Amino acid sequence: MSTKRNLLFVSAYSGIGGGESVQLNLMRALDPDRYTLHLVGPRDGPWPQAAQDSGATFHAIPYRGINTWFVPAIYQRFPISGKLADLARHLDIHAIHTDYHSLPFAVVAGRANRIPVIWNAMGWWFPAKPWQRRFFREDVTQIVAITQAVRDRWLGDRPFMPSDRIKIIVPGVDPDHFHPGVNGSTVREKLNIGPDVPLVCLIARFQRVKGHDIFLDMARRILAQMPDARFAIAGENVFGVSKDETYKRDILTGVQNDPVLHKKLTFLGFWDDAREVIAAADVVVCASRFESLGMVHLESMAMGCPVVSMNNGGPAETLVDGKTGYLVPPEAPDVLADRVIRLLRDPVLRARMGQAGRARVLEQFTAQGYAAQFAQVIEGLV
């Protein structure tokens, strides 16, 4: 390729959640000799900082992201649309990658500069509203969904556009970063437990959909059979949403008031290096009521740690039940506990599933593979 492309990522977030992790992996894996990366967001924070560490240039333009009820014709008139268009022109941008909450502004910038706009649907499961459908069909150049589950939930029971117009590109992780040799002793020291104590971990931001309450119900069932087991939850309310903060307080209070759990379960808060939590765990659990993808699944598999996950959404497209971990019915803490106990009692099974998980990531879910597929989309549009 003779022309180096200037790519503009647009995101309304400043904290790092699963979607931002996906974008970071993409940024890090795109060839710097082929692409110059820029990120626009309303404010600085962990996500813009991490993007800059990955080689992107950050541009702060204050704006408020849209919600699911947005009316395209109104939101496209907001001042941020013109500012974004001016910046794209100044930077000679060749393609725009946007999250949902910035989409109408990105579309205006793309139209003004005759450049393609890619909406990467990374966590959406609410169908488009009737007054938005023409906008999605005609104004967004390309929609890329991270899983079939995201695509199908967004299109709804009666799809308003052909599903084959939405490309499925499942993200990946860097297996050289997430590998079985990471040392998790720091986490176990924090918990004041030795290497032989059974440890089950949940890594998730505080939000009801993440199922912390289900994890607690599971833990109680496990402790009834394995009283020596320990549990840890890593994560925070990274986006500062008030209802998520209320949910977090309810979960913490519930554990503090539980005569058994308060001695057996530890909240780690936001842990800078999630790899250490995975490395410390014998089993990683995903208790989410829905996951669009589940980056923790891929990270854990890459590190050779078996995963037990609710089967609702993207995990069924990455985790192989009975081979790299277990998929259990939603809202079933009893089944979740059964599968975790099975793994905790069988180190040979854990090792076999861990090896199979890493092999699956190496074959299908690397960041380099994800970036290569995304680069094909960009070049096809440009």
Q: How confident is the model over 209-223, as a mean pLDDT? A: 97
Place of tokens 């109408």: 104
pLDDT at 85 over 50: yes
Q: How confident is the model over 62-66, as a mean pLDDT? A: 95
Round the average pLDDT of the chain to a whole number and report it. Answer: 95
Identify the H or E element spanning 143: strand 142-145
- Is the CB of residue 64 less than 8 Å from the CB of residue 14? no
Tokens of 245: 């903060």
The per-residue pLDDT for 240 is 78
Amino acid at 39: L
Tokens of 63: 């704006």
Q: To which CATH superfamily is domain 5-172+366-381 assigned? A: Glycogen Phosphorylase B; (3.40.50.2000)
How far is the C-alpha of 325 from the C-alpha of 335, rounded, in Å?
A: 13
How far is the C-alpha of 91 from the C-alpha of 37, rounded, in Å?
A: 10
How far is the C-alpha of 323 from the C-alpha of 270, rounded, in Å?
A: 30
> Distances from the Cα of 348 to the Cαs of 306, 327, 360, in angstroms?
12, 19, 18
Give DSSP secondary structure letters for 260-312.
THHHHEEEEES-S-HHHHHHH-SEEEE--S-BSS-HHHHHHHHTT--EEEE-S
- Is the CB of residue 128 less than 8 Å from the CB of residue 136? yes
pLDDT in tens, 227-250: 999 999 999 987 778 999 999 999
pLDDT at 339 over 70: yes
Tokens of 365: 């879910």
β-pair type (307-310, 325-328): parallel
Q: How confident is the model over 192-219, as a mean pLDDT? A: 96
Please indicate whether the domains covering 5-172+366-381 and 185-364 agree at the CATH topology level: yes
φ, ψ dihedrals at 93, nearest 5°: -70, 140
Please indicate, yes or no, whether the overall pTM of this predicted structure exceeds 0.85: yes
How sure is the predictor about 1, in pLDDT bands with cuts at 50, 70 and 90?
Answer: very low
For the chain, the residue count is 382
Tell me how crowded residue 51 is: count the other CB atoms within 10 A of its CB. 24
How far is the C-alpha of 323 from the C-alpha of 42, rounded, in Å?
A: 43
How far is the C-alpha of 366 from the C-alpha of 379, rounded, in Å?
A: 20
Beta bridge partners of 5: 35
How far is the C-alpha of 53 from the C-alpha of 27, rounded, in Å?
A: 10
How far is the C-alpha of 123 from the C-alpha of 100, rounded, in Å?
A: 9
How sure is the predictor about 123, in pLDDT bands with cuts at 50, 70 and 90?
Answer: confident
**Where do the structural domains in the chain lie, given as residue ranges?**
5-172+366-381, 185-364
The per-residue pLDDT for 373 is 96
pLDDT in tens, 152-187: 999 988 899 999 999 999 999 999 999 999 999 999
φ, ψ dihedrals at 201, nearest 5°: -125, 145
The per-residue pLDDT for 2 is 52
Query: What's the CATH number for 185-364?
Result: 3.40.50.2000
Give the SS3 label for residue 322: coil
How far is the C-alpha of 351 from the C-alpha of 229, rounded, in Å?
A: 19
- Is the CB of residue 103 less than 8 Å from the CB of residue 128? no
How far is the C-alpha of 346 from the C-alpha of 268, rounded, in Å?
A: 26
How sure is the predictor about 43, in pLDDT bands with cuts at 50, 70 and 90?
Answer: very high
